[in-house]
């Protein structure tokens, strides 16, 4: 390889800096492989991952309200009740993080799998819209899911040779495992691996995997590279002004220079490929991507700050605020609307958005209510967009699901709760067999007052030992997208998109929530 002298390289880098390249554009530097033009086919399916950064407290998201469970829940989360139960004195430095039962949103469940007989459940009071989607059959709850190498019990955990997920309780590692089945540093995610197998259904493979703002590794495949957008849509290379130093001529000349090279070395060649690809995709989106202020995802004559569709009500203040999650989903809605344009031609896509603020070690009740209010509003907003999509309702073709670093402990730590393991998540869409709880909801039963529970699913502190694995989620959603059994399972142990799925009985691999 011919080297570029350091000074020349820095000079070229400085020249490109004048373009004002955005973070989203820089993230696309990894994408140097040109897309091959192939037919997208007549059908369309997409997955949308909503990642709840910080570790969502599932215990206050989906709450058990049958008598035995409620007694355990309320006593563990309310120090005054715990003191009454245990005969101790309630610590002065603890406050209740138990929800008021009278405010909870009751839900029924069909118990189709027969795993939750005699159980009753409710949702957090801020999840009114999700409650409605659940009651209407287009939302389901996946109970107590988390990373597992193979089915694991409390007894199994006493055997120190038992295969266990790495670095439990670590934010970065557990977020990575949820997205990629590997710890921090893993470079490919299962969303991207799904699209590695399905990208041939897309005319322009550059838009197979799309994230908004700075999503995680879930979107990255071995060959598929995420295309990143901002909340305002795509950022033109060089900015949106169309000028450099006040000149549109200089702007055009620099853009041309960025995709032209007289050098033959590898770095220059790759840089030209990246720049050319970026300019090509920019041209495609400028022609295909509809305006964010267009109905149904936007209100004409408004912007993000003033559009009522993007505002949620902050529960503790009653004030109307811009919902950053809805704003991200607005961009996804625009991309889905553009799926049939000649420059995109998408048959399969994966999308990822995220919402932070779920690391609720303190100020639990207020902070968690705010975050769930955003989630509730954004999911309902997005479903309304899909229902009114130009060309027809696409809710059956788009499946949205939540994920998070981990669940949280049941035991109260003061005015919050600490890191956990398993958690409960939502799956939403017209192809979801909704109105039910999938997987066994953990048994809430007797405890000793010191954080130890006589339950098969509650570890010390009320941390949930998962009953379902992330691999089973991958398998279930991958099958719905059209990935083959061979690619999901792999020819040899650990080689499939769901690397641990071979450790689970074939009858349990599909969780069952997709029609």
With H, G, I as helix, E, B as strand and everything else as coil, classify residue 478: helix
Q: Check whether 88 has a pLDDT greater than 90.
A: no
Buried residues in 73-87 as b, exposed as e (16+ CB within 10 A) = bbbbbbbebbbebee
Q: Tell me what the pLDDT averaged over the chain comes to.
A: 89
Q: Model confidence at 101, in pLDDT bands (50, 70, 90)? A: very high
Q: Residue 47 pLDDT > 50, yes or no?
A: yes
Beta strands (DSSP E) in 100-244 are 105-107, 121-123, 139-146, 209-212, 227-229
- Provide the token pair at 414: 């003061």
Q: Which pLDDT score is estimated for 280?
A: 82
502 pLDDT tier (thresholds 50, 70, 90): very high
Copy the structure tokens of residue 159: 């055997």
**Residue among 510, 469, 478 nearest 496 (CA):** 478
| Domain locations along the chain | 45-234+295-508, 238-288
Confidence of residue 446 (pLDDT cuts 50, 70, 90): confident
- pLDDT one-digit tens code per residue, 250-283: 767 776 777 777 677 777 776 777 777 778 888 8
Residue 26's pLDDT is 39
pLDDT band at 141 (very low <50, low <70, confident <90, very high): very high
Structure confidence at residue 494 (pLDDT): 96
Full-model pTM: 0.89
- Phi, psi (deg, nearest 5) at residue 211: -125, 160
Percent of the chain with pLDDT over 70: 87
CA distance 470 to 177: 9
pLDDT digits (tens, 9 = 90+) for 159-217: 999 999 999 999 999 999 999 999 999 999 999 999 999 999 999 999 999 999 888 99
What would the pLDDT profile of 183-197 be if each residue is shown by its tens digit? 999 999 999 999 999
Q: What does the pLDDT average to over 143-156?
A: 98
> What's the gap between Cα 296 and its chain centre?
23
Residue 346 main-chain phi, psi, to 5 deg? -90, 130
User: How far is the C-alpha of 291 from the C-alpha of 161, rounded, in Å?
Assistant: 56
Are 80 and 92 spatial neighbours (Cβ–Cβ below 8 Å)?
no
Six-digit token string for 503: 């450790």
Place of tokens 């590997």: 182
Q: Which fold has domain 45-234+295-508?
A: Alkaline Phosphatase, subunit A (3.40.720)
Is residue 54 within 8 A of residue 356, CB to CB? The reply is yes
Position 253 scores a pLDDT of 76
The CA distance from 515 to 370, in Å, is 32
- From the number of C-beta atoms within 10 Å of its C-beta (0-12, 13-18, 19+), residue 484 rates as exposed
Closest to 468 (Cα-Cα) out of 378, 415, 408, 407: 407
């Amino acid at each position: 390889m011919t080297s570029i002298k350091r000074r020349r390289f820095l000079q070229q880098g400085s020249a490109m800096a004048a373009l004002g390249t955005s973070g989203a554009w820089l993230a696309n530097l990894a994408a140097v492989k040109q897309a091959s033009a192939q037919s997208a086919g007549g059908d369309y399916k997409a997955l949308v991952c909503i990642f709840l950064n910080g570790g969502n407290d599932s215990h206050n998201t989906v709450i058990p309200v049958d008598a035995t469970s409620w007694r355990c829940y309320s006593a563990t989360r309310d120090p005054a009740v715990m003191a009454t139960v245990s005969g101790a004195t309630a610590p002065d430095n603890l406050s209740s993080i138990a929800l008021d039962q009278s405010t909870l949103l009751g839900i029924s469940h069909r118990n189709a799998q027969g795993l939750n007989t005699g159980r009753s459940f409710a949702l957090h009071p801020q999840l009114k819209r999700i409650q409605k989607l659940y009651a209407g059959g287009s939302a389901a709850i996946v109970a107590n899911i988390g990373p597992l190498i193979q089915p694991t019990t409390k007894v199994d955990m006493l055997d120190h040779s038992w295969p266990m997920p790495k670095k439990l309780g670590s934010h970065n590692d557990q977020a990575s495992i949820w997205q990629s089945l590997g710890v921090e540093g893993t470079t490919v995610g299962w969303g991207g691996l799904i699209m590695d197998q399905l990208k041939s259904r897309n005319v322009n493979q550059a838009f197979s995997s799309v994230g908004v703002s700075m999503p995680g590794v879930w979107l990255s495949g071995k060959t598929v590279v995420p295309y990143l957008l901002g909340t305002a849509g795509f950022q033109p290379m060089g900015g949106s002004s169309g000028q450099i130093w006040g000149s549109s001529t200089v702007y055009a000349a620099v853009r041309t220079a960025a995709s032209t090279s007289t050098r033959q070395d590898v770095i220059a060649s790759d840089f030209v490929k990246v720049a050319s690809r970026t300019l090509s995709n920019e041209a495609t989106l400028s022609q295909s991507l509809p305006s964010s202020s267009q109905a149904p995802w936007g209100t004409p004559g408004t912007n993000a700050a003033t559009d009522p569709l993007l505002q949620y009500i902050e529960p503790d203040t009653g004030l109307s605020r811009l919902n950053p999650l809805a704003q991200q989903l607005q961009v996804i809605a625009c991309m889905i609307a553009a799926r049939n344009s000649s420059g995109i031609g998408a048959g399969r896509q994966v999308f990822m958005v995220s919402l932070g603020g779920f690391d609720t070690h303190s100020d639990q009740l207020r902070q968690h209510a705010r975050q769930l209010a955003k989630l509730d509003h954004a999911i309902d907003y997005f479903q309304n967009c899909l229902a009114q999509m130009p060309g027809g309702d696409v809710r059956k073709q788009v499946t949205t699901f939540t994920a998070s670093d981990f669940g949280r402990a049941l035991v109260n730590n003061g005015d919050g709760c600490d890191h956990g393991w398993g958690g409960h998540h939502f799956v939403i869409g017209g192809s979801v067999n909704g109105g039910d709880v999938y997987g066994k909801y953990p048994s809430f039963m007797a405890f000793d007052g010191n954080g130890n529970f006589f339950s098969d699913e509650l570890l010390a502190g009320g941390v949930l030992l998962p009953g379902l694995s992330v691999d089973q989620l991958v398998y279930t959603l991958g099958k719905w997208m059209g990935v083959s059994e061979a690619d999901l399972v792999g020819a040899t142990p650990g080689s499939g998109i769901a690397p641990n799925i071979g450790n689970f009985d074939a009858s349990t691999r599909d969780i069952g929530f997709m029609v």
